[in-house]
Amino acid sequence: MAEITLKLKKQPEFPLEADVISPDTFADKSLNEIKALELFFGNQKVKLGDYFEVKGKTGKVDQLKIVIDGDLSKVKRIGEKMTAGEIVINGNVGMHVGNQMKGGKITVNGNADDWAGAMLKGGELEITGDAGHYVGSAYRGFWKGMKDGVIKVKGKIGNEAMLWSRSSKGANKWPMLYCGGAGSFLGVHNHGGTIVVEGDVDRCTGADQAWGTIVINGKVSRKLPSYRKVGEVSEVELPNGEKIKGKFIEYSGDHSVKKETNGRLYIAA
């Protein structure tokens, strides 16, 4: 597998928009061509080589691995719309990492800022630290958010994760989010997304959920009144066939959207 290593030389004063850092753009380019790629810095354009040391060898898109070292909390849009290959980020990363990605894998060994994996269409995003708000959410005004793919966050995530996520039974697409804990409005306007939380979540989980599955292995600070208790279960089966063992109380909802609904919220008993 071909590997390219980028190392941040200096902290940018303003956010750097680096949507070119993706296996799709790097594939089959020479190191000099990669160094000459344009990044957006405020209203200016800068060269990738001005901010990053570039080493390694390129190859075909699906066999390309990009490793980035340094504190990238001011570098946005890494891996935007990528379709294949792999990115490993060793450090914190800025907003919109892996947004609208279709395939491949991104690993962040650190924390991610807001909009990580927004409107994901496929592939896998793994974050070992915490993530900001709007993880895997739809962008403003979009009614179809995350459609497929998996996001795994070890730590906690912020508010309004998986906003407007859409599954498709016919196309066998099941957007999934695993996280260690979450803020308020987890899975708001959920249309078939699956969310599994290891720890506690804040208020209004599953607000306006039309259908979908949310499993919480911890506490919910305030359950919405429109969720009704169905019973207790000792195992939850997710749409992708995965089974989660443990004692859960099963709630149906959100009943403020539909009187009869197969939306489900499981909270650890």
> How far is residue 79's CA from residue 141's CA, in Å, rounded to a whole number?
22
How far is residue 177's CA from residue 195's CA, in Å, rounded to a whole number?
Answer: 5
Exposure of 99 by Cβ count < 10 A (0-12 exposed, 13-18 middle, 19+ buried)?
buried
For residues 41 and 244, what is the distance between their CA atoms, to the nearest angstrom?
45
One-character DSSP codes across 108-148? ESS-B-TTTTTT--SSEEEESS-B-SSTTPPPTT-S----S
Q: Which is nearer to another protein, 40 or 178 (CB)?
A: 40
Shortest Å distance, C-beta 73 to another protein: 10
Task: Tell me how far, at minimum, the Cβ of 246 lies from another protein, in Å.
Answer: 22
Q: Between residues 65 and 76, which has the closer beta carbon with respect to another protein?
A: 76
Considering the complex, what minimum distance in angstroms separates the CB of residue 208 from another protein?
7
Nearer CB in complex with another protein: 38/53 = 38
End-to-end CA distance of the chain: 46
Considering the complex, what minimum distance in angstroms separates the CB of residue 197 from another protein? 19
Nearer to another protein, 105 or 133 (CB): 133
Task: Please say which residue, 244 or 257, places its beta carbon nearer to another protein.
Answer: 257
- Chain contacts with another protein (rule: CB under 8 A): 13-15, 17, 40-44, 95, 114-115, 133, 139-141, 143, 160, 184-185, 188-189, 203-204, 207-208, 222, 224-229, 254-259
Sign of the CA dihedral 244, 250, 253, 254? negative
Lateral strand order in the sheet of 44-47: 44-47, 38-41, 16-17, 75-76
- State the pairing for strand pair 38-41/44-47: antiparallel
Q: Which CB atom, from 103 or from 192, has the smaller least distance to another protein? A: 192
**Beta carbon of residue 257, minimum distance to another protein (angstroms, whole number):** 8
Question: Of 89, 94, 127, whose CA–CA distance to 113 is shortest?
Answer: 94
| Closest distance to another protein from the beta carbon of 144 (Å) | 12
